[in-house]
Amino acid sequence: MTDLNSAYLSTLYKVQSFQDPIRIGKTHSELDSLLSDHNLTHWSYLTAWNPRSQRLPLEENRARNQALFDILQSNPDFTILPGVGESPDGRWSEESFLVLGMDEHGARTLAFQFEQNAFVCGEKGKPAKLVFVDFLES
Block means of pLDDT (10 residues each) for the chain, 138 residues, are: 81 95 97 97 98 95 98 97 96 96 97 97 98 75
Task: Record the pTM.
Answer: 0.93
* Rounded Cα distance, 45 and 29, in Å: 16
Q: Can you give the pLDDT at residue 138?
A: 42
- The alpha carbon of 31 is separated from its chain's Cα centroid by a whole number of angstroms, namely 13
